[in-house]
């Protein structure tokens, strides 16, 4: 953006001093010791990344300079000068004054990734943790176990100190982990289970038949194994096995800490997850980094879906074959297209029919954003009240919504309501965990002071009766003062796709109003066992269709806030050609679903991972890798143009970062298929190129939504 002026403000701060402060703000060092970047977007949204593009770095610093009595030229100068700060390292080696392909990371994040690579590599072929006989006996005791699942059990308990078991959604990873846990216990080992969330931890504890005393959410588990003075401290040893479920949701900092502490003790670590599903909110993609370092076992055969074509579609979603998966749902009339309130009304109507047909069945309503979830919760609750499934008068309390930007407001409570908590809370001696879901059995006002009193029946199997005002937040505000903000809790009729990862229900209803990328679509469309419908709001797609058509016809016009054409004489608003058709909407769902939000690692820019990981410092690691790239390019140049052409794709990956695709080293017995795999990769690359070409063409000719 071009700034005409930067408003006055910020007195008494030298530019160089402020530049340092701003850079620390960008790196967000005070919040994340590993130095990962927090990218602040225009509307206050934020996301964390390990690697930041040059344009994001410059844009963020320029934005933060506003209101500091700094001229445009000075702001640009200091923003560009930030590239040379010792707090960040440029990863490509490109000329900072000429190239637009610049990527940065902090020394802390680079060192954390390097240690992950070193530990994972060093612990290869460490020792026998569980004998082959014990593993085979545990597998043979499971009559329904598939060959893929059995192979994953063997891989989980291999001789490596760290092993990775991946699996598509609904393949039965937890069943395999349960078998591995049984074998480990039969070998005399102590099994611990953990996951990034309380909900996922409870699920994996149940699936592996692990006592709650041996289960803890990951952050708590790390505190207990790293702090010798912790009152619930855990001392790991060679006789311990740590199973981490939903490991794809673990960020670089916590993964680094986990591998370091378990390596010290000689404990076995089994990481279970799916690098193709949603990524951690925290920086980095460490599960992918480890998988690329030591390779993983993967379960692909999906068992969750009972309907054949839906099971096949789930396999396609997992494999990134979005067009085939979406087309299957469209051909079976499982995609409902509408607009605004009418579409939500159809979803809610279908949901209510299902509740009446199967009152004991389980179901989920999913949406991508917290705002969509709030609207759905309000609509669903109103309908359930009309049906008498929510009884008695409402009692209102103050509450904060869940999410990164919680919204304060009034929350209505009545008997029959479903609630989901967004933080850890203590109630009547029991701990309510983040993501816990409960049904209100009764709510009334205290006869003495009128305070709400609720009886909550939790899905985890316990019941609590408490005054609402006695619910105590476990976390403290800054300065260890009591946090007086309302509690984070909201109705639980609809949840975000991100919250639903790892869930399994009978039927699901997925709202796609703001667009869903590859990871969101994959997770959202694979939570069900019996049936799933996708509800697509065509409003935004229709507006783009109209906008493209008007511009294409050479008419200067726009769309009003009410969705009406500002130039009605130029194009009749009732013209059928002005409406978006079903095929255009389906194409747009596919196009958006083919886009990925893969998180980058600093290691992605490394040409020689072992040398990069073993260098004395982060600076020398990157510098040495850049020199190796230059030498390789020069060698290819000397061999002639044909050699450069053959290697251009690899060189581009070294310099600009890897293409977003899964790369796994074939197992020893599959080496003979390497050539076929290479051909498949070439075919996939050509398909991606054609898809991008078609997308650009659609963007020019319409109808398509601008990215």
Cβ atoms of 509 and 529 closer than 8 Å: no
Residue 297 has a CB neighbour count (10 Å cut-off) of 21
Predicted structure pTM score: 0.71
**397 & 277 share domain:** no
Indicate whether 670 belongs to any domain: no
Categorize the per-residue pLDDT at 652 as very low, low, confident or very high, splitting at 50, 70 and 90: very low
Residue 699 has pLDDT above 80, yes or no: no
Are 209 and 182 members of one domain? Answer: yes
Asked if residue 222 and residue 261 are part of one domain, the reply reads: yes
Measure the N-to-C terminal CA separation of the chain; round to a whole number of Å: 18
Q: Which domain holds residue 78?
A: 15-105
pLDDT for res 282: 85
Domain match, 44 and 119 both: no
Tell me phi and psi for residue 388, to 5 degrees: 80, 10
In this model, does residue 506 exceed pLDDT 90? yes
- In sequence order, which residues have a C-beta less than 8 Å from that of residue 204 and are 6 or more positions away? 174, 177, 193, 194, 195, 210, 215, 243, 245
Q: pLDDT-based confidence at 545, cuts 50/70/90?
A: low
Distance CA 35, CA 110 (A): 9
Each as own residue / partner, the long-range contacts of residues 134-138 (CB below 8 Å, 24 or more positions apart, any chain) are 134/183, 134/186, 134/187, 135/183, 137/183, 137/186, 138/179, 138/180, 138/182, 138/183, 138/186
Give the C-alpha separation, 665 to 296, whole Å: 9
Q: Do 59 and 157 fall within a single domain? A: no
Residue 253 inside a domain? The answer is: yes
Per-residue confidence band for 637, with pLDDT thresholds at 50, 70 and 90: confident
More confident residue, 23 or 405: 405
CA distances from 387 to 212, 216, 347, 667 (A): 39, 40, 16, 57
162 falls within a domain: yes
Tens digits of per-residue pLDDT, 189-207? 999 999 998 888 988 999 9
Flag whether pLDDT at 32 surpasses 50: no
Q: Which of 365, 435, 440, 366 is nearest to 402 (CA)?
A: 435
At 643, the pLDDT band (50, 70, 90 cuts) reads low
Q: Is 540 exposed, middle or buried (0-12, 13-18, 19+ CB in 10 A)?
A: middle
- Per-residue model confidence as pLDDT tens digits over 127-177: 999 999 999 999 999 989 999 999 999 999 999 999 999 988 888 889 999
> Are both 258 and 181 inside the same structural domain?
yes
Tell me which of 14-23, 53-62, 278-287, 660-669 is least confident.
14-23
Q: Is the pLDDT of residue 261 over 70?
A: yes
Q: Is the pLDDT of residue 558 over 80?
A: no
Q: How confident is the model at residue 551 (pLDDT cuts 50, 70, 90)?
A: very low
Domain boundary among 299, 317, 338: 299
* Tens-place pLDDT, residues 604-627: 999 899 999 999 999 999 999 999
What pLDDT score does 689 carry? 55
Tokens of 300: 């692909």
DSSP 78-144: HHHHGGG-TTSEESS---TTT-S--EEE-HHHHHHHHHHHHHHHHTTT---SS-HHHHHHHHHT-TT
**411, 532: one domain:** yes
**Average of per-residue pLDDT across 331-353:** 94
How far from the centroid of its chain's Cα atoms is residue 143's Cα?
A: 34
Per-residue pLDDT at 263 exceeds 90: yes
The verdict on residue 707 lying in a domain is no
Query: Both 284 and 320 in a single domain?
Result: no
Tell me which of 566 and 104 has the higher pLDDT.
104
Q: Name which residue leads in pLDDT, 13 or 587.
A: 587
Tens of pLDDT, residue by residue over 64-119, are 777 777 788 888 888 778 888 888 999 998 887 777 789 999 999 999 999 999 99
User: Same domain for 147 and 90?
Assistant: no
The chain-wide mean pLDDT, for the chain, equals: 80
Residue 571 in any domain: the answer is: yes
CATH of the domain at 85: 1.10.10
Query: What's the pLDDT score for residue 40?
Result: 33
In-domain check, residue 70:
yes
Query: 460 and 414, same structural domain?
Result: yes
- The verdict on whether omega for the bond into residue 358 sits within 30 degrees of 0, i.e. cis, is no
pLDDT of 697: 54
Q: pLDDT at position 634, please?
A: 85
Measured CA to CA, the distance from residue 559 to residue 567 in angstroms comes to 9
- Please give the structure tokens belonging to residue 148: 């893929």
Q: Quote the CA–CA distance of 670 and 235 in Å, as a whole number.
A: 40
**pLDDT on residue 691:** 55
In a domain, 450, yes or no: yes
Determine the pLDDT at residue 477: 55
Q: Looking at residue 682, what is its pLDDT?
A: 54
From residue 449, alpha-carbon distances to 81, 218, 399, 444 in Å are: 61, 40, 20, 12
Of the pLDDT bands very low, low, confident and very high (cuts 50, 70, 90), residue 579 is low
Number of domains, the chain: 5
Interatomic CA distance for residues 393 and 40, integer angstroms: 43
Same domain, yes or no: 419 and 545: no
Poorest-pLDDT segment among 156-170, 291-305, 542-556: 542-556
The torsion angles phi and psi of 234, rounded to 5 degrees, stand at -120, 125
Are 363 and 497 contained in the same domain?
A: yes
Q: What pLDDT does residue 693 have?
A: 59
Q: Is the pLDDT of residue 365 over 90?
A: yes
Task: Give domain status of residue 387, yes or no.
Answer: yes
Is 652 or 4 the better-scoring residue by pLDDT? 652
Bigger pLDDT: 267 vs 669: 267
């Amino acid at each position: 953006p071009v700034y005409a002026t930067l408003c006055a403000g910020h007195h008494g701060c030298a530019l160089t001093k402020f530049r340092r402060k701003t850079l620390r703000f960008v790196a967000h060092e005070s919040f994340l010791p590993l130095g990962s970047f927090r990218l602040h977007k225009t509307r206050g949204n934020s996301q964390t990344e390990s690697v930041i593009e040059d344009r994001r770095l410059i844009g963020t610093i320029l934005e933060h300079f506003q209101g500091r009595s700094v001229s445009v030229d000075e702001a640009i100068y200091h923003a560009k000068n930030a590239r040379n700060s010792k707090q960040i390292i440029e990863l490509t080696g490109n000329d900072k004054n000429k190239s637009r392909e610049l990527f940065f990371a902090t020394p802390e994040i680079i060192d954390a990734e390097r240690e992950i690579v070193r530990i994972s590599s060093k612990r290869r072929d460490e020792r026998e943790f569980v004998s082959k006989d014990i593993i085979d006996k545990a597998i043979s005791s499971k009559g329904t176990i598939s060959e893929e699942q059995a192979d994953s059990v063997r891989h989980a308990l291999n001789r490596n100190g760290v092993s990775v078991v991946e699996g598509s959604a609904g393949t039965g990873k937890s069943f395999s982990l349960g078998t591995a846990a049984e074998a480990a216990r039969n070998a005399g080992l102590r099994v611990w289970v953990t996951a990034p969330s309380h909900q996922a931890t409870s699920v994996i504890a149940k699936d592996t038949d692990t006592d709650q005393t041996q289960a803890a959410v990951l952050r708590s588990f790390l505190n207990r194994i790293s702090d010798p003075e912790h009152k619930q401290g855990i001392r790991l040893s060679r006789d311990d096995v740590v199973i981490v479920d939903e490991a794809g949701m673990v960020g670089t900092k916590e993964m680094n800490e986990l591998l370091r502490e378990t390596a010290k003790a000689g404990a076995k670590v089994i990481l279970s997850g799916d690098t193709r599903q949603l990524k951690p909110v925290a920086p980095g993609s460490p599960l992918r980094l480890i998988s690329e370092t030591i390779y993983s076992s993967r379960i692909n055969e999906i068992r969750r879906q009972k309907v054949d074509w839906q099971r096949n579609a789930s396999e396609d979603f997992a494999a990134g074959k979005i067009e085939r998966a979406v087309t299957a749902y469209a051909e079976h009339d499982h995609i409902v297209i509408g607009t605004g309130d009418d579409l939500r009304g159809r979803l809610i109507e279908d949901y209510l029919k299902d509740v009446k047909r199967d009152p004991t069945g389980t179901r989920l309503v999913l949406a991508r954003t917290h705002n969509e979830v709030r609207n759905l919760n309000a609509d669903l609750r109103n309908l359930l009240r009309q049906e008498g499934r929510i009884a008695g008068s409402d009692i209102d309390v103050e509450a904060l919504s869940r999410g990164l930007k919680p919204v304060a407001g009034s929350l209505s409570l009545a008997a029959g309501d479903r609630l989901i908590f967004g933080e850890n809370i203590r109630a009547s001696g029991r701990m309510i965990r983040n993501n816990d879901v409960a049904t209100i059995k009764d709510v009334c006002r205290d006869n003495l002071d009128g305070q709400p009193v609720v009886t909550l029946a939790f899905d985890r199997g316990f019941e609590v009766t408490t005054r609402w005002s006695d619910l105590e937040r476990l976390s403290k505000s800054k300065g260890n003062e009591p946090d007086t903000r309302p509690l984070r809790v909201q109705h639980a009729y609809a949840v975000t796709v991100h919250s639903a990862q790892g869930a399994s229900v009978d039927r699901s209803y997925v709202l796609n109003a703001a667009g869903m990328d590859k990871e969101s679509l994959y997770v959202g469309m694979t939570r069900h066992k019996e049936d799933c419908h996708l509800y697509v709001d065509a409003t935004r797609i229709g507006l783009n269709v109209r906008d493209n058509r008007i511009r294409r016809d050479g008419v200067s016009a726009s769309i009003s806030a009410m969705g009406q054409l500002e130039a009605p004489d130029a194009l009749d608003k009732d013209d059928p050609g002005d409406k978006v058709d079903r095929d255009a909407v389906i194409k747009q769902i596919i196009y958006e679903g083919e886009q990925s939000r893969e998180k980058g690692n600093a290691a992605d820019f490394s040409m020689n991972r072992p040398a990069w990981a073993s260098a004395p410092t982060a600076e020398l690691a990157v510098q040495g890798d850049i020199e190796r790239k230059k030498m390789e390019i020069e060698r290819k140049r000397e061999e002639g143009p044909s050699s450069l052409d053959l290697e251009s794709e690899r060189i581009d990956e070294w310099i600009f970062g890897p293409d977003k695709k899964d790369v796994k080293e074939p197992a020893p017995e599959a080496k003979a298929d390497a050539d076929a795999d290479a051909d498949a990769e070439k075919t996939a690359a050509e398909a991606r190129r054609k898809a991008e070409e078609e997308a650009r063409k659609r963007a020019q000719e319409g109808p398509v939504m601008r990215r």
